[in-house]
Amino acid sequence: MTIFKLGYVAMSQNLQNASPSQTMTYKQFSQIANREAAIRKLERISISNLENCLRLLKHNTGNDIHFFRFSSKLIPLANHPELQGWNFMRPLKENLLMLGEWVKKHSMRVDFHPDHFVVLNNANADILKASLKTLSVHERLLKGMKIDTEHRCVLHVGGAHDDKEGALEQFITNWGFVPEKLQRMIILENDDTTFTVNDTLYLCEKLGVPFVFDLHHHLANNEDNQWEEQWPRMTATWENSPLPLKMHISSPRSETEFRAHAEYIDVDMFMRFLETVNGTLPEIHCMIEAKAKDNALFQLAKDLQKTGRAEFNDQSTFTLK
């Protein structure tokens, strides 16, 4: 019997004025004549984002949600080259500690998924350097929360650059330039256009990195390979992780917009996955990537209960009968 836990991404449709992704562009920053005043404004926005993030965590606790992805936009311009001297961690110390204390007190799993511009398989040294800088910001935030950074950051492989095999080998080459503290943070996900389950598993097995299975991406990009055949390889990549295997679940918006995420989750599609993997692991964490955010989680829980196959221990944790 497998315990399944549902989580969602970054934002709530139920909390008002609680965005953790309020931002400020560099153009807006540079239009403020007094640089110190501009930095103070950046810090106020960042503190507001962290305060809203704590509200989200409390909302999760109140609704028995134990799995959550932080926004990667918590600190605007944190890695901008024109703000290299800005020590953003100092004014955020107290707020980060409060987030970490809540996470640990309520045994919540949290992680990040940096934006697509974080690419580790590019031969351009400047792109790699910028990607590592962004990852370093995520690592510092987790450390500021006093949360173990291991396997907390999901990445895609990157671009193929008209040579997918060469791009995979470039990832391995570049891995040698990734500091160990960032390596231990990274887990890799198959994508919906280029790098399939098999491609991504090749890197994960080669580098000792856990694999995050995205079912929707696989349906869009699979080269006629069946994911069920690769499931034992996927699970094996998590054997040395302190965290349970995680996967991503979303549903196509439509047949014509297959790669786009729908508002909610197709329960039949998800149930086929659950029935296939049930009993293969003690625990699996399922991150919902749907436009309706926490409402998609609540609706999926209701839909699973209606199937008569799911038995819920709380609002987001269940087993199959």
pTM for this prediction: 0.96
pLDDT category at 200 given cuts 50, 70, 90 is very high
The answer on pLDDT for 32 being more than 90 is: yes
Question: What's the burial of 1, exposed, middle or buried (CB within 10 Å: 0-12/13-18/19+)?
Answer: exposed
pLDDT category at 30 given cuts 50, 70, 90 is very high
Phi-psi region for residue 146, left (φ > 0), alpha (ψ -120 to 50) or beta?
Answer: left
Instruction: Give the angle 21-13-55 at the CA atoms, nearest 5°.
Output: 60
pLDDT category at 17 given cuts 50, 70, 90 is very high
258 close to 220: Cβ distance less than 8 angstroms: yes
- The residue among 198, 202, 121, 126 whose CA lies nearest residue 155 is 121
The answer on pLDDT for 20 being more than 90 is: yes
Domains and CATH numbers, the chain: 3-320 (3.20.20.150)
What is the arithmetic mean of pLDDT over 99-122?
96
Average model confidence (pLDDT) across the chain: 97
pLDDT category at 161 given cuts 50, 70, 90 is confident
212 close to 187: Cβ distance less than 8 angstroms: yes
301 close to 286: Cβ distance less than 8 angstroms: no
